[in-house]
Structure 1
């Protein structure tokens, strides 16, 4: 079942240090998706698995800097926290759930942190229409692109390559069914959507927890 269509007028918070700056008030729920870590032999490690090993409970405000201190040092050294990046198979699972949640998977907006021939390869450059002006921030040099949702998985490579194959700061389908926000470049994605998408992402194996929009960003960058 697809989530109910939201208004295309995007209103975000103004403080770039809060969840509200990367989420909307027009969708029923706001959640944090914890980007999986890469372990030895390219294995995928979830935050919930690591929390269980550390004897901690994963919460919406869990910070990697705190969790890593509770894990064995030799294990932490083997882990790669993919800031703003997902392994290609993981991106495919993300796109599969997102595609089922929108009626306009072939028409999506991607707000990228600065435009060059690599970052925007495969999607067209567009002007920010008035109803999407909020997606032009919070960072200088943002550029709007349009294309199919599958562009997210098409551009991913086995390892992050600077900004060229990292997640856009904002991703939204033309029907406004959801908004993804990825601060530059953090260990989590923030999702504004209905319940169906969040449950679909959980079914795909993602760690995803509801979070209040007034929270200080608990995700971290390098």
Structure 2
């Protein structure tokens, strides 16, 4: 991917404030797809997420109500299981059931959707995009370059650069979305939706994936 890409011909370049909001949304969603701290309940994890998404939804004219409802429902289920006789699982346990414990119901390494296997050519292509842009992952995640959270962090950083006037960064973000996110976001939504039939917590991630789909589709 060329580092000197321009915005699509005829398109209106977003103003700096809109780009900052885009950056914040991508970074917020990147955090949401990272493993949560080991001791956090769904409330600890979900409350700040909902607050951030409500603010960003208003700024970007995005409907975030389904995500908020899913988090509230997950919190209600957590309260119901937190009886005096038992302790409800922390959110990391729910996350692990979905994304980490084999057989993994939902893959967060997107080559699984693009190629049906881990560490395929798309993973190397994504890593190459990072290198062209000079992107260094934050270090919160030690995984392959095609992890959903890492790709969203990359987009967030590109939008931050675009907000500072870097037109090349905006073009790179748009092309990255077209080449990669558009291809895997539908299968990710579907995988989360199927998993929600067995693990209610997957509904939260399904709604997050749908929100991402709407955001990049615009």
Tell me the TM-score normalised to structure 2 length: 0.35
Higher strand share: 1
Tell me the TM-score normalised to structure 1 length: 0.35
Higher helix share: 2
